[in-house]
Structure 1
Amino acid sequence: MAAVIPVISKLSNRIIRILGCNPGSMTLQGTNTYLIGTGKNRILIDTGDKDVEEYQQNLALVVQSEQVNIEHIVVTHWHHDHLGGVEDIYGTIAKQPKVWKHKRDETDAPDNEMPASIPTHWLTDGQEIKVEGATVKVHHTPGHTTDHVVLTLLDENILFSGDCILGEGTAIFEDLYTYMKSLQRILDLKPRIIYPGHGNIVEDPTQKIEYYISHRNQRESQILNALMANPDKQMTEMDLVRIIYTETPEHLWAAAAYNVNHHLVKLTKENKIKNISVNGENRWQISSVCNSNL
């Protein structure tokens, strides 16, 4: 069982974690938000869900007891459990902060999650945001969402991973192809420690990131092997689930098929397999090029 995360934790002389108090199956114990800096003005990473009074009270308590001002709010991505609280604290707990978020991809729905009364400043890859005692650097890491960013605290070589890497379990993603590239990018950053968007601190970042990568690579190999063993068949996600997830209860097969689909889309982008529509149903088959190379 995961260690209980306190609602307020002083993690170092420049980092205070305030739990979002929004527990759930997808948020674990809740969204971790982080107040960063050593001076009067601070950076807040993520804001939890909307209308969570307990979180607002705890954040206000920290701001008052530390006698600080939230100068910047940096949102790691557009999901409600990271961005929702902005509306509650803007102009109240955070008097006149700059609210930062990366733009979503042009193929996504418009960036309209923030009320029009709250100006959004757009993050760029490599950008640095500074306050006294802290400099955070932005790294665009799409995959979980197209706008997802992680942040490195340059002063301590700490990574704030948002939902790209969790404190427990594995993360979900919209696009596995870009997500795998983002995991490799984070691995290359060589963080000393990871403070995730959900779950406890990751004390062994390299081991954790390599596990994420190897777990996905293992599933990919299983899918490729199943398609190679049936080179003349055009298979659905569920066909592959029945072959690969033999130890998974049948009531979880739909969720497994969702993950398999992400792998299939990635493999199609890499030209290792081909996508065929049969009576309006998507099916996949090993490509002749991949089969000959393997």
Structure 2
Amino acid sequence: MATQLPKLPDVERLSERHGGLISNRPWEGFGEFIIIRFLSFPNHPFTLQGTNTYLIGRGPSRLLIDTGEGRPVWSKSLQATLASENASVKTALLTHWHPDHIQGVPDLVKLCPDVKVHKHQPDVGEQYDITDGQVFSVEGATLKAHSTPGHTGDHMVFVLEEEGAMFTGDNVLGHGTSVFDDLSVYLSTLAKMQEYFLRRDGPCRAYPGHGAVIDDGKAKIAEYIQHRQQREEEVLHVLKHGVLVGKDEHASSAQIEPKELRAWTPIELVKIIYHDVPENLHLPAAYGVTQVLKKLEGDGGVVRESEGKGEERFRVVV
């Protein structure tokens, strides 16, 4: 899967301001770059090309979003860039607690001993909290934090007010879809993020925690919401009819009486919904299907049944 992804540079200057305008074409004009991405290489296929970390601002004091997995090549790239820019990191903002976003903190502290590291629901130690609506500023950039649980309970996104862009963390990725702790909470968060983009004219950039920059964040979030709704509809259809929509022209609701509706395990549903996906990916897919089932249970659409061996099954309510 990873070989199909576009290659991203280890270090890339992403955004430049010219008299108040934003350009992603750094070879035009003589403005100063305000966003530089450092790629921290992956230790897991779910991290796509690696974890994106972003250096933001101008002048001697900069902001940094996320720190990657603690890879030496990342800290060396950051050190070289800070030296060339005659700058240091004043504030580090962590989008959430996952190791691929926080394990570079010790290396960052070695490079920039005066840095203040912030995370919502901070860990014990030298971390500061991030509150919903909190503003962080350096020369050339103002970031506003927004609480966006879903991928994790402590997840935050950051809006770059000068550009109207959003650093989406792992709630929205540059390729594919994200995983989440709670689907109902995640959908509420996606709606909140979508509302922000809908208030703005035209497409707005999104800078994800993994994958390429998203030029139209509004369209991407709409795509995410539609995908989750489609998955929920597919799960319900299989629970009711035993097949996917359009996969069996002979199957219909008229052929399956309510008394024949059986209870399904998540992996049984996966084998039908993800029938064209390699079997080694069925277990990760089962996690997402389980989240859909839990949401449907909370909505009153399914009931959970446990068997003697501890295996949980779900039956649709009719």
Normalised by the length of structure 2, the TM-score is 0.81
Q: Any idea what SS the aligned residue of 1:266 has? A: helix
Map of 1:40-79 to 2, 5 A cutoff?
40-50=60-70, 52-79=71-98
Q: Figure out how many residues of one structure are paired with residues of the other and give that number.
A: 275
Find the counterpart in structure 2 of residue 32 from structure 1. Answer: 52
Find the counterpart in structure 2 of residue 188 from structure 1. Answer: 195
Map of 1:138-153 to 2, 5 A cutoff?
138-153=145-160
Higher relative CO (Cα under 8 Å, sequence separation at least 6) belongs to: 1
Taking the aligned partners of 1:249 and 1:142, their CA distance within structure 2 comes to 30
Taking the aligned partners of 2:295 and 2:288, their CA distance within structure 1 comes to 11
Find the counterpart in structure 2 of residue 103 from structure 1. Answer: 121
Which structure has the bigger radius of gyration?
A: 2
Q: Any idea what SS the aligned residue of 2:129 has? A: strand
The code of the aligned residue for 1:233 comes to R
- Percent identity, please: 41
Give a deviation string over 1:181-204, Cα, whole Å, max 9, x none: 111111111171011111111112
Give a deviation string over 1:88-141, Cα, whole Å, max 9, x none: 121x3112111100117xxxxxx45xxx3xx11111111111112111011111
Aligned to 2:7, which of 4, 13, 23? 4
Does the 8 Å contact 1:137/1:153 carry over to 2? Answer: yes
- Check 1:54–1:212 CA distance in 2 against 1; reply closer, same or farther (3 A cut): same
1:281 has 2:311 as partner: yes
Does the 8 Å contact 2:5/2:48 carry over to 1? Answer: no
Find the counterpart in structure 2 of residue 263 from structure 1. Answer: 292
Residue 151 (structure 1) shift: 0.6
Does the 8 Å contact 1:70/1:95 carry over to 2? Answer: no
Aligned to 2:209, which of 179, 197, 203? 197
Taking the aligned partners of 2:72 and 2:164, their CA distance within structure 1 comes to 33
Q: CA RMSD in A?
A: 1.9
Does the 8 Å contact 2:62/2:91 carry over to 1? Answer: yes
Residue 75 (structure 1) shift: 0.5
- Check 1:95–1:251 CA distance in 2 against 1; reply closer, same or farther (3 A cut): closer
Give a deviation string over 1:166-189, Cα, whole Å, max 9, x none: 111111222212111111111111
The code of the aligned residue for 1:259 comes to G
Residue 277 (structure 1) shift: 2.1
Does the 8 Å contact 2:263/2:315 carry over to 1? Answer: yes
Q: Any idea what SS the aligned residue of 1:19 has? A: strand
The code of the aligned residue for 1:283 comes to R
Give a deviation string over 1:145-164, Cα, whole Å, max 9, x none: 11111111011111111111
Residue 248 (structure 1) shift: 3.1
Map of 1:205-244 to 2, 5 A cutoff?
205-229=217-241, 231=258, 232-244=261-273
- Check 1:241–1:30 CA distance in 2 against 1; reply closer, same or farther (3 A cut): closer
Normalised by the length of structure 1, the TM-score is 0.87
Does the 8 Å contact 2:5/2:49 carry over to 1? Answer: no
The code of the aligned residue for 1:10 comes to R
Does the 8 Å contact 1:63/1:93 carry over to 2? Answer: no
Find the counterpart in structure 2 of residue 108 from structure 1. Answer: none
1:89 has 2:108 as partner: yes
Find the counterpart in structure 1 of residue 247 from structure 2. Answer: none
Structure 1: tracts of 5 or more residues without a match? 105-110
Taking the aligned partners of 2:163 and 2:58, their CA distance within structure 1 comes to 13
Does the 8 Å contact 2:95/2:157 carry over to 1? Answer: yes
Taking the aligned partners of 1:241 and 1:20, their CA distance within structure 2 comes to 32
Find the counterpart in structure 1 of residue 169 from structure 2. Answer: 162
Q: Any idea what SS the aligned residue of 1:18 has? A: strand
